Homo-oligomer: A and B are copies of this chain.
Amino acid sequence: MPPNKKYTKDEIVNIAYKIVESEGFENLNARRIAKELNASVQPIFHNFTSMEELKNTVYEKIYETYQNYMERVTEKPAYKQSGLSYIQFAKDHPVLFKILFMKETNNSPESFIINDSEGEDIIRRGQQLTGLSYEEQKKFHVKVFIFTHGIACLLATKTVKLEENEIEELLTNTVLELLKGYKEERL
């Protein structure tokens, strides 16, 4: 009995996502979305109870984008690829990276959480490459993550500019040096 929908929930979220991706949540508001949708604000409040709810939906979509990066499978070792993916996400989507990992309101970088089962798995797989004990590998993993996060943050704020091959070289060299240096020191 009602007229057909001219604007769907998905369309609205997609437009909101694009705005946030380029300008952050600060510039997201009902009238701005309506304008880019060529509509009034009504479709927004028909599909969402509030802007708050819409923002939460956009946030989830941002997290999905991040997860897609982290699930990437390549010919590179998984351990290395996960760091590269984290950095690549920061480089490709600086605003989204800042939203997810450079504000305290949000969850911590899950690659850093080593207390869950997935974290344990990462440590164990790392051990096979380094030959370190579980505790040693855990510490090593933290250091590698801090370095990775450092690069990602610098790219997200556009403080530095690095090409993909430079990133891989920098990360690989550093990890190897850290490992070698640690083993050397143990003697």
Task: Tell me how far the C-beta of A104 lies from the nearest C-beta in chain B, rounded to whole angstroms.
Answer: 5
Bound CA span A129–B156, Å: 32
Q: For this complex, into which size category does the number of interface residues on chain A fall? A: 20 to 34
Q: Is A143 in contact with chain B by the CB < 8 A criterion?
A: yes
Q: Please measure, in the bound complex, the distance between the C-alpha atom of A98 and the C-alpha atom of B98, giving whole angstroms.
A: 11
A179 partner, pick from B103, B104, B181, beta carbons under 8 A: B181
Task: A101 to B98: give the CA distance in the assembly, Å.
Answer: 12
Q: Confirm or deny: A109 has a beta carbon within 8 angstroms of a beta carbon on chain B.
A: yes
Inter-chain CA distance A108–B101, complex, in Å, is 19
| Cα separation A143 to B174 with both chains bound (whole Å) | 8
CB pair B159 A109 closer than 8 Å: yes
Interface string of A158-187 (1 = CB under 8 A from B): 111000000000100010111111101100
Contact partner, A180, options B94, B108, B184, Cβ 8 Å: B184
Closest residue of B by beta carbon distance from A153: B153
Interface-centre pick from A149, A170, A176 (highest chain B CB count, 10 A)? A149
- Whole-angstrom distance between the alpha carbons of A178 and B179 in the complex? 8
Q: Which of A130-166 contact B (CB under 8 A)?
A: 143, 146-151, 153-154, 156-160
Question: Can you give 29 A-B contacts (C-beta < 8 A)?
Answer: A94-B104, A98-B102, A101-B159, A102-B153, A104-B156, A104-B157, A104-B159, A108-B157, A108-B159, A109-B159, A112-B160, A143-B170, A146-B147, A146-B150, A146-B151, A147-B147, A147-B150, A149-B150, A150-B151, A150-B153, A153-B153, A174-B178, A176-B181, A177-B177, A177-B178, A177-B180, A178-B178, A180-B185, A181-B182
Binding site for B on A (CB under 8 A): 94, 98, 101-104, 108-109, 112, 143, 146-151, 153-154, 156-160, 170, 174, 176-182, 184-185
